[in-house]
Amino acid sequence: MFNVLTTHIPGVVILEPRVFADKRGYFFESFSAREFNELVAVPITGRPMTFVQDNQSKSCRGTVRGLHFQRPPYTQSKLVRCAQGAIRDVVVDVRKGSPTYLQHVAVDLTEDNCLTLFVPRGFAHGFSVLSDEAILQYKCDEYYHPESDDGIQLADPSLGIEWGLDLAEAVVSDKDRARACVADRPSVFDFNASLYAE
């Protein structure tokens, strides 16, 4: 039971659940395959989607992870939510030829707003931690494939991302710090090629 909130980039949507709260606390359905496929997957990708891997990460305040993706044929869609704390979640359209190429969506996901972000294939994904610590949970429709791991520079000035913190002081892995800017690397996604073909 959720509302689908569109963004300025077609295919990137925010899922707003119906939360039942009382003096004991609250309850909500964080995922329903039937409802997700009917309201999100089929309208966006043209087919039902099966998530095959659930991931969880814990990060301290000031951490930035990203901007990550997996190269074809192991590219992933993700369904991301913050179970504890608060993050700024960012997705960048890296599909060459897309009308929204290199545009991004940034949304604050928190344990209080209970929002979930759908990240389609062909997008780079990252997040910054705005609370003392944050636990991120996300589903993937393709298994992790280490040899296909890739990404772009999270501080690329051409992207204009506001991470909500000072990147010079952020906690970032050496691998993410070393990633190339968009102008210095070829695109691996083609907007005109189906990323959801069977």
SS3 198: coil
Classify burial at 3, counting beta carbons within 10 Å of its beta carbon; exposed 0-12, middle 13-18, buried 19 or more: exposed
Which residue, among 102, 84, 64, 78, has the nearest Cα to 13 in the 3D structure? 78
Which amino acids are annotated catalytic?
Answer: 68, 138
Q: Token digits for 179? A: 């990633």
- Annotate 99-111 with DSSP letters as a single string: TTTT-EEEEEEET
- What dihedral angle (degrees, nearest 10) is formed by the CA atoms of 71, 151, 9, 35? 60
